[in-house]
Structure 1
Amino acid sequence: MNTPPDVFFLPADGEQRLCLFHAPAGEPRSRVLYLHPFAEEMNKSRRTAALACRALAEAGHAVLQIDLRGCGDSSADFGDASWTDWQADVRLGLHALDERAPNDAPLWLWGLRAGCLLVTADWGRPVNYLFWQPMTSGKLALQQFLRLKVAAEMAAGASKGLMEQMKSELAAGRSIEIAGYRLGPSLASGLEAAKLNPAGAPGRVEWLELSTREDALLTPASEQAIKGWQDTGWTVRPQVVQGPSFWATAEIELAPALIARTVEALA
């Protein structure tokens, strides 16, 4: 029987961050902090992420979800958030997880897509990483987001020079509107500079990617990134799991095989 998560607001410099804590039945086998993806991808993946959190809690893991500044039900507007704000929110989430699961169980930072770029840092303690469809470059992540507006304008027949125009607006310190989101220059520059590079003491990395093909392989970019982690002493276990790109589908879709493989990986 599923136990509802503990829903609470975490104080953050006069603001609040929505958190959901999924507690296991007994002492945690591990402690997990989940960081959601960028913009609309967060909304598209909420259902799959929630099901994965429940499955992990049932398997004995303590899991905390946090809505970053300007996202979901947390304070502020998306356009007012910065990459530095989000890094500070990761630390808030770690502190909240420490308070609710105060034991020596292994710590996992779990990111989806651009969320993986946010969690890779030296946190001053041993950590392991769970990557779902990780983006290896923040520059590429920003480029893909900007292309949403280019694609929309192409449908209206007016996209010439739009990419350069948006980059110029951001470089001049002005916000731009994309797919219903106001993107500020601080968030854009922080995302663009982010890279999926190893930091801190080496630990474990569970690297899970999705494909609708049974014979799918890792992309060359993923293979290169994985080698960089392995060369610095990290134990990386990459896997390609069959399932849809649920963070980008028109309708809400689930990835049960990914959830099952995630539970197995952390076991």
Structure 2
Amino acid sequence: MTLDADVFFLPAAEGEQRLCLFHAPAGSPRSKLLYLHPFAEEMNKSRRMAALACRALAEAGHAVLQIDLRGCGDSSADFGAARWADWQDDVRLALAELDRRAPGEAPLWLWGLRAGALLAVGDWGRPVNHLFWQPMGSGKLALQQFLRLKLAAEMAGGASKGLMEQMKAELASGRSVEVAGYTLGAALASGLEAARLAPAGVPGRVEWMELGTREDATLTPAGEQAVKAWQDAGWTVRAQGVQGPSFWSTTEIELAPALIARTVEALA
């Protein structure tokens, strides 16, 4: 059975609103999930995969809420005006809405893709589990990868020398920079750079999935080290490599059906 998502605008602070999609299960939810999208253009590249995964999870009995963070997608404000703290507020806003639409004691999962995983970690004042898709270990790495997009675009013209240092200096001085069609504000850059994929709050479960091109895909060494840190902090972590493309960065929209199937199995 295919379940249609409820698309709506969620009122936010200062008269703004956030675009949300709620995927309701047919009966009482087995669990509740909040999906947190990746950074900048990676969000758009991942929309199809996220939509298919949300639908599959709803059909498997889970309640899923998606939110376009402030300045992203069809939500209020420009990307350049967003701050990391705004996005943390959006997580709290979305969790309250998820509770309203799926009341009860079903387990709560924060599901982050790439930099979305960095936003998912924190002490939310309640027990949470985590579903990580290709999580980034630090916001500093995410910021560097994003800035390199402009670096790559300038290389053909020979204007890339010193550009990375120049962009970092602009951000450090409180000014915005333009990267790949996005205006990156200094407040968002500093908040992202300070983010870490570190355990926080009451230990729960973590489903950690990384994609690879081989059928016997495994975690990266950095991923294995991060998983151990979560385990040492008392979290129950199940990590697995899954075959599939890096759909968040491919030129054409691509899918990783095995990742969706493994996710549904993991939360069963």
TM-score normalised by the chain length of structure 2:
0.99
- Deviation, structure 1 residue 155: 1.6
Q: Which runs of 5+ in 1 are unaligned?
A: none
- Tell me, in whole angstroms, the C-alpha distance in 1 between the residues paired with 2:264 and 2:221: 26
SS of 2:64's partner is strand
2:224 corresponds to 1:248: no
Query: Runs of 4 or more off by more than 3 Å in structure 1?
Result: none
2:9 aligned with 1:6: no
Deviates more, 1:219-228 or 1:32-41: 219-228
Cα drift, residue 2 of structure 1: 1.3
What is residue 216 of structure 2 aligned with on the other side? 215
The 2-side partners of 1:217 and 1:108 are apart by 23
1:170 paired residue number:
171
Q: Hey, what's the Cα distance between the residues in 1 that align with 2:157 and 2:116?
A: 32
1:19-98 matches, within 5 Å, as: 19-98=20-99
Matches within 5 A, 1:183-222: 183-222=184-223
Q: 2:87 is aligned with what amino acid? A: W
Aligned residues, how many? 267
Q: Spell out, residue by residue over 1:126-180, the C-alpha distance to the aligned partner (whole angstroms, 9 max, x if none).
A: 1000000000111000000000000000022210000000000000100000000
**Letter of the structure 1 residue corresponding to residue 215 of structure 2:** E
Between 1:219-228 and 1:25-34, the stretch displaced more is 219-228
Instruction: Give the conservation status (yes or no) of the 8 Å contact 2:23–2:64.
Output: yes
Please name the residue that 2:112 is paired with: 111
Q: 1:191 and 1:102 mapped to 2: Cα distance?
A: 32
Amino acid of the structure 2 residue aligned with 1:233: G
Q: Is the 8 A contact 2:247 2:255 kept in 1?
A: yes
Give, in whole Å, the separation in 2 of the partners of 1:156 and 1:50.
Answer: 38
Amino acid across the alignment from 2:190: S
Q: Counterparts of 2:153 and 2:10 in 1: how far apart (Å)?
A: 37
CA distance in 2, matches of 1:214, 1:257: 10
1:258 alignment counterpart = 259
- More off after superposition, 46-55 vs 3-12: 3-12
Alpha-carbon distance in 2 for matches of 1:156, 1:43: 27
Does residue 237 of the first structure (1) align with residue 238 of the second (2)? yes
One-letter amino acid matched to 1:174 = R
Q: RMSD across aligned C-alpha pairs, in angstroms? A: 0.6
Give the corresponding residue for 2:102.
101
CA distance in 2, matches of 1:57, 1:16: 24
1:160 aligns with 2:161: yes
SS in 2 for 1:33: strand
Separation in 2 of the partners of 1:238 and 1:253?
Answer: 23
Structure 1 residue 3: deviation in Å? 2.0
CA distance in 2, matches of 1:175, 1:4: 39
- Could you tell me which runs of 5 or more consecutive residues in structure 2 were left unpaired when the two chains were aligned: none
For 1:71-97, what per-residue CA distance to the aligned partner results, in whole angstroms no more than 9, with x for missing partners? 000000000000000000000010000
Q: Give the TM-score normalised by the residue count of structure 1.
A: 0.99
